[in-house]
Structure 1
Amino acid sequence: MKLINKISLWFLCIILVITPVTMAISHAGIKRKMIEFEVRRLLSVNDRVASLLQEGRPVDDFIRDREIEIATVRGPVPATNPQVIKRPGKVEGMREQELALFVASYYPLNGIVYKVTSHNYFINPNEFFSSMFITLLWKMLLVSIAVLISARILSRILFRPFKNTMEAIRHFNIRQKQTLQLKRSSTREFNELNCFIETMTNKAMEEYATAREFSENASHELQTPLAVLRTKTELLTQTSLDSQQAGLIEHMQTEISKLSNITKSLVLLARLENQEFNTREKIKFCRIAKNVIETYAYWADLKNITVTHNTGSQIFISIHPVLADILVANLMRNAIRYNEENGLIHVELTADYFRISNTGAPVTIPHKDLFRRFKKGSQKNEGVGLGLAIVKQICEVCNFRVSYAYVEHRHIFCVYFNESYLSELDMIPSNSSFQRVVFAEA
């Protein structure tokens, strides 16, 4: 929900709560004021009658058109003076309920206590409630419409700097080496937000440049001595060596190659984490997949592994070409390396997923650890344990999902290009040997 909608909803809730309360308070106040006013009027009428009686003047002309009763009372003046009596009820011939208000005042005049009672009928204030309720509904409706309209107008005016900031962030690219410049606003909070964002983006650009420089330096500086070591060991092999010395040199060459592969893989992971690859470009993924499969077919033949594939045509995926090649190559190498003699590999590619399965023994580590760095399915294998970690990192950069399952003596890796496809797909048939599908998590 948008911020302006939340603010509008909040104000509407306040109106819905406050308006009925204020209506009840107003109703009680109007009722009290009406009765107080009428009591004061009837008291003034009683005082006027008392003054006429005290002066000995006739009162008939004054009370002729008024509801006034005059009586004498034996005994002293009551402690409660005046006395106000309210009698709600319907008057004969009237449809609405009226309130009969009686005000009795006691006056000691010339040694005689007079009781002067005046009364009047007026509409019961409770009868106003229905009219007030209708007025309340109209008020709430008009105020709600006014809040919604004014919120939209204010949103375009007050939140324009915030929208400009969001648009600038959306188009900001850390690889372009251009500092983020945000427009200043007359609102202090937006200026503070812009200053914070500018500071954080500048810091991110500095750290990105440092990490990129380190990865480039590491790639260059580490590969140079490794190449020298490889050259020196090759020269040693051309000298006269006994069998033990030749075995040691061969072992050294293997470890040097492994160290070189680790260095290249770590540098690639660093570049992936720094998002140095453009993954928005759509490429013909099916062509890259076929080329990689053909490249590794020779290695598979050396182990008598049969490779079959069903790759569709005209399949375009948003991914960098280099990353696409590495993704397929790492999965192919993994399928060959962890396969068995006379084994099978099957590759399937559609517009929604890339799946590769191979025969082989079960892995010796938990499935959830397969995509972690330096974790190998078998410690006897010559791999460095970074292939699947690179696959996972490529999928994260490209917003893909990768999963693993072991079913019927087969390792199954599947890369899903479309997140919504997962909810519709029954990935692996359910059977007695089924093991839970494990997704590589960030």
Structure 2
Amino acid sequence: MEPVTNGFRKMKNKKPTRGISLLSKTLRLFACCTAVCFVFTVPLFYLLTKYFYAEDIIDIIEAVEQGQGIPPLDLEQDIIAGMMLQFLLIFLVITMALFLTVRFATKKLWQPFDDTLRKAEQFNLAQSEIPIFVETNIQEFARLNHSLGQLMKKDKDTYRIQKEFTENASHELQTPLAIIRSKLDLLMLENLTESQMQLVSDLYELTMRMGYLNRNLLLLAKIENAQYTVLEEVDIETLLADSLPLYETLQNGKTLHMYDYRINRNRKLLANSVLLECLLKNLIVNALRHSKEKGEVQIWVEDNSLTVSNESTDGKPLDANTLFCRFRPGNARQKGNGLGLAIVKAICDFHHWIVEYKFEAGSHHFIVNFHTKQL
């Protein structure tokens, strides 16, 4: 098992400690802000009382002290005006307290959640260790951190098991396939009839396809498990020019042309060179394999995209909904194992590129857009 951080080793079997709920904490902060606001508005309440509620009483007391008669009173108007001003003042105090609670007090309250969210977004099964979350006495955040830690640990264990299984399965399958091919080679040296030789040849071809299938499935698993981590600047035009001679044996009378429409000749792709070469290989081999006899396969290289096109054999478009699926329907009678375009899609997803299919003027067009898509 892959090691986990010391911090998580301490907390993985420890349930979150009992603290205070988020609602209770927020209400406490709101009450404190309200009390502070009321303290600062005490002078306003004093002036409200002096000049509205107690104004007539003060006038009567001053008149009596000076030996004068009772002055005219407007007690009813003062009470109504005072109550309206009092309600307005209380509303302003509560509004200010609410604003302070939301704007300032809860910002610190939600810091553990923001920290957890940031670490969860940065977590990578293949590369990251299980993060150590900030300790908090908020019950909901503590439960969230504990649950996320447990979930990440299970995911890491599942990822490790899946990785080991795919590697072991590939290794164990290659050995018997190699033995079968070697025995078929020996069998071909025997004095066989034409029908027997055809059967042996069919079996040999089948074992070769099984070997390709095994390697492609392992490649898909490695891509999806993010085991290709090295990224470098790659000149796609140079990579294509070096690899095109390798496809001469697959052309069978078909022509293969490359056109470079780049404006910025110095622009290079940030990609995994092994995966990029695999993407180009699958697109070109797919185009050559499914192009009509004496047809033309064209490759257009632009600053932000790559297009591979081939002339259709039946003049009909392919099903874009299942085209990039593994072992897609309708592929049983075709050569290959049905994983070529699925590998192309996986490589594009790994690099956050976009692959599209279009059918125009009797030709299939596979377009890889190197603009990083939004996550």
Query: TM-score, normalization: structure 1?
Result: 0.62
Distance apart, 1:415 and its partner CA:
1.1
Structure 2 CA distance for partners of 1:303 and 1:149, relative to 1, 3 Å: farther
Contact 2:352–2:373 (Cα < 8 Å) also in 1 = no
Distance apart, 1:335 and its partner CA:
0.3
Residue 153, structure 1, aligned to residue 114, structure 2? no
Q: CA-atom RMSD, angstroms?
A: 3.7
Instruction: Determine helix, strand or coil for the equivalent of 2:238.
Output: helix
Q: Which residue, out of 274, 282, 304, partners 2:254?
A: 304
What residue in structure 2 maps to residue 402 of structure 1?
355
What residue in structure 2 maps to residue 264 of structure 1?
215
User: Which consecutive residues of structure 2, in runs of 5 or more, have no partner in the other structure?
Assistant: 1-25, 35-48, 61-67
What residue in structure 2 maps to residue 354 of structure 1?
306
Structure 2 CA distance for partners of 1:286 and 1:394, relative to 1, 3 Å: same
User: Which consecutive residues of structure 1, in runs of 5 or more, have no partner in the other structure?
Assistant: 1-6, 16-29, 42-63, 68-118, 422-442
Residue 286, structure 1, aligned to residue 237, structure 2? yes
Contact 1:284–1:316 (Cα < 8 Å) also in 2 = yes
**Which structure 2 residues correspond to residues 108-257 of structure 1 after superposition, within 5 A?**
122=75, 124=77, 128=81, 132=85, 136=88, 140=92, 147-148=98-99, 150-176=101-127, 178-257=129-208
Instruction: Determine helix, strand or coil for the equivalent of 1:175.
Output: coil
Contact 2:297–2:308 (Cα < 8 Å) also in 1 = yes
Distance apart, 1:318 and its partner CA:
3.2
Size of the aligned set, in residue pairs, is 315
Residue 333, structure 1, aligned to residue 285, structure 2? yes
Distance apart, 1:186 and its partner CA:
2.5
What residue in structure 2 maps to residue 88 of structure 1?
none
Q: Which amino acid aligns with 2:254?
A: N
CA distance in 2, matches of 1:311, 1:238: 52
Distance apart, 1:374 and its partner CA:
1.1
Which deviates more, 366-375 or 153-162?
153-162
CA distance in 2, matches of 1:364, 1:228: 42
Higher strand share: 1
Query: TM-score, normalization: structure 2?
Result: 0.72
Between the two proteins, what is the percent identity of the paired residues?
26
**Which structure 2 residues correspond to residues 91-110 of structure 1 after superposition, within 5 A?**
none
CA distance in 2, matches of 1:314, 1:297: 28
Distance apart, 1:172 and its partner CA:
3.1
Structure 2 CA distance for partners of 1:130 and 1:153, relative to 1, 3 Å: closer
**Which structure 2 residues correspond to residues 387-398 of structure 1 after superposition, within 5 A?**
387-398=340-351
CA distance in 2, matches of 1:408, 1:152: 60
CA distance in 2, matches of 1:288, 1:166: 40
Contact 1:278–1:319 (Cα < 8 Å) also in 2 = no
Structure 2 CA distance for partners of 1:137 and 1:327, relative to 1, 3 Å: farther
Contact 1:365–1:377 (Cα < 8 Å) also in 2 = no
CA distance in 1, matches of 2:121, 2:373: 24
Q: Which amino acid aligns with 1:410?
A: S
CA distance in 1, matches of 2:270, 2:285: 23
Q: Which amino acid aligns with 1:324?
A: L
Distance apart, 1:256 and its partner CA:
0.9
CA distance in 2, matches of 1:322, 1:190: 43
Structure 2 CA distance for partners of 1:170 and 1:227, relative to 1, 3 Å: same
Structure 2 CA distance for partners of 1:239 and 1:289, relative to 1, 3 Å: same
CA distance in 2, matches of 1:404, 1:335: 12
Contact 2:234–2:268 (Cα < 8 Å) also in 1 = yes
CA distance in 2, matches of 1:66, 1:157: 58
Q: Which amino acid aligns with 2:293?
A: E
Residue 367, structure 1, aligned to residue 320, structure 2? yes
Distance apart, 1:210 and its partner CA:
0.3
Higher relative contact order (CA 8 A, sep 6+): 2
Alignment deviations for residues 248-268 of structure 1 (CA, whole Å, 9 cap, x no partner): 111111111111111111111
CA distance in 2, matches of 1:148, 1:286: 58
Report the structure number with the largest CA radius of gyration. 1
Distance apart, 1:383 and its partner CA:
1.5
What residue in structure 1 maps to residue 272 of structure 2?
320
Distance apart, 1:171 and its partner CA:
4.0
CA distance in 1, matches of 2:73, 2:79: 17
